[in-house]
Structure 1
Amino acid sequence: MATATIGDITIGYEDEGAGDTLVLVHGHPFDRSMWRPQVARLSRAGWRVIAPDLRGYGESTVVPGKTTLDVFARDVAGLLDRLGVERFVLGGLSMGGQVVLECHRLFAHRLRGLVLADTSAPADTPAMRGWRRSTAERLLREGMGPYAEEVLHKMVSRSAPPEVAAHVLGMMRGTDPAGAAAALRGRAERPDYVAMLAGVAVPALVVVGADDEFTPLADARLMSDALPDATLVVVEGAAHMPNLERPADFDGALQAFLKAL
């Protein structure tokens, strides 16, 4: 584990391996440990793999209030500046995938490829914006425990290995409610990225769990159809976190994509 001071916050991150750089951005309400299988496998396969904790999560600084996606994106860029990385492949899952899209909006010239896992490009509907804001208040009021129990089997299927379910539940319970609430409020205000997709000039891998209820196959197909150079991979037997439920399938698709770059 390493930390870096970026502006007025401290970011915890993993930095393993050597070679071309792959950066992996976690989802909500998780931390960088969700990428543990990918960091281990890809760092042994000739890649330098960097996985940060976003502000408000894991071992990074918790900043209450509201954290918009551009703030997350600039934190990622700041960390990579500190580590001397100019160009990289960037991947993210769920909210992390939306951070990837925001990074493309802000500094597309630095990206060699995109990995968009179990995420969606459109802006929130008014109803979803209301849900995110009310959920933020709920987390501050109740803590993470009740929410974590409620959504566990949407994050991973009931057939997921017990150790995977325990890991996911532990990440959710361990997240600071103030950090999670700030991200929910900011995410409700994110722009619509759909029109941007046609202008993406690098290859993209779009991955989705076949049983994902949060960001189903239709969301993945919308992105893969709009992107000029995209590969769509559907991971059978997985819900919202195929990288943990079916790591062999997920990593196989990711390695094939990286090899083709």
Structure 2
Amino acid sequence: MGHFIEVETGVKLFVEDIGEGQPVVFLHGWPVNHKMFEYQSTELVKQGYRFIGIDLRGYGQSDRPASGYDYDRKADDVKAVVEHLQLENIVLAGFSMGGPIAARYMNRHKEFKVSKLMLLAPAAPRFTKTDHFPYGIEASEIDGMIASIQEDRPAFLAEFGKQFFHQEPSDPFKQWFGSLGLEASAHGTIQSALALRDEDGLEDLPGITVPTLLLHGTEDEICPLDFSLYLAEHLADAELIKIENSGHGFVFEEKEKTNNEMIRFLKR
């Protein structure tokens, strides 16, 4: 079932809602949409969980307004979906850019209705280096990415896809994955890149108290494993599982391992 849910006046998000049972709410990465979780949704529904995949503003089938691409507004969007669907006892799962948005939700909205958290190759607590956080890329590299997007977005997405995977995917898969990025608005893609460059989620970490599963590919070239090693040390109740021989796209490269770890954590 698909819902179009108004999260603020004139802005609706598309939400995929499949299955019954405890809701697992997925927040996708940049610059794709909820379809990236298709291999998780099928397994979770089979195991008796309710899969809820949100297309963040600017992505997939959601509206693409001029503003609202900061983490605060995106966290508020998630809360609006949770309230509209009257969800309880949620497991919130954030992948890559969805990770710091999930963390912001937890802190800003006092863990509203969330009983467990999954951070999947999270771009958290921040994506770029600063004087107080030594991991990630230089902020200037984001500026170069934005210039490439404005020059030739399909070519940029194809190149970005190469970084995404450690194992070589099939050509049809590459085409499918690239198409997810092309479904996004160029404006939303760029505005979210600015948020990845500038936003800082270090202050969100003390607001996360629920059990947290960190899943991270050991060969990740986009969000280094250092991010999750840092989070494992700074979250109240975190377990880190390293996904061997896989990169940022471990949810595709090691589907069975990923799904088994998720289900183990959900049943814990």
The question of a shared fold, defined as TM-score above 0.5 by the shorter chain, is answered with yes
1:128 paired with 2:138, answer: yes
Instruction: Find the counterpart in structure 2 of residue 90 from structure 1.
Output: 92
- Tell me which moved more, 52-61 or 2-11: 2-11
Equivalences for residues 209-248 of structure 1 within 5 A: 209-248=217-256
Pairwise CA distance, 1:83:
0.9
**Given that residues 66 and 186 in structure 1 are in contact (C-alpha distance below 8 angstroms), is that contact kept between their aligned partners in structure 2?**
no
Of 158, 177, 190, which residue of structure 1 is paired with 2:199?
Answer: 190
Specify the SS of the correspondent of 1:188: helix
1:41 paired with 2:67, answer: no
Structure 1 Cα separation of the partners of residues 14 and 204 of structure 2:
30
- Superposed CA offset, 1:113-137 (max 9, x none): 1111111433333673333344334
1:172 paired with 2:181, answer: yes
- Superposed CA offset, 1:172-227 (max 9, x none): 2332211101111223231232x543552210000011210111222211111222
Equivalences for residues 100-179 of structure 1 within 5 A: 100-107=102-109, 108-123=111-126, 124-125=128-129, 128-139=138-149, 141-179=150-188
**Given that residues 145 and 173 in structure 1 are in contact (C-alpha distance below 8 angstroms), is that contact kept between their aligned partners in structure 2?**
yes
RMSD of aligned C-alpha atoms?
2.0
- Structure 1 143/188 Cα, relative in aligned 2: closer, same or farther at 3 Å? same
1:72 paired with 2:74, answer: yes
Structure 1 Cα separation of the partners of residues 143 and 235 of structure 2:
30
Pairwise CA distance, 1:88:
0.9
Instruction: Find the counterpart in structure 1 of residue 5 from structure 2.
Output: 4
Equivalences for residues 202-213 of structure 1 within 5 A: 202-213=210-221
Pairwise CA distance, 1:20:
1.2
Give me the identity figure in percent. 24
- Name structure 1 gaps, 5 residues minimum: none
- Tell me which moved more, 239-248 or 78-87: 78-87
Q: TM-score, normalised by structure 1?
A: 0.91
Pairwise CA distance, 1:163:
4.2
- Structure 1 204/246 Cα, relative in aligned 2: closer, same or farther at 3 Å? same
Pairwise CA distance, 1:238:
1.6
The one-letter amino acid paired with 1:225 is: E
Q: TM-score, normalised by structure 2?
A: 0.89
- Give the aligned length: 258
Pairwise CA distance, 1:38:
1.0
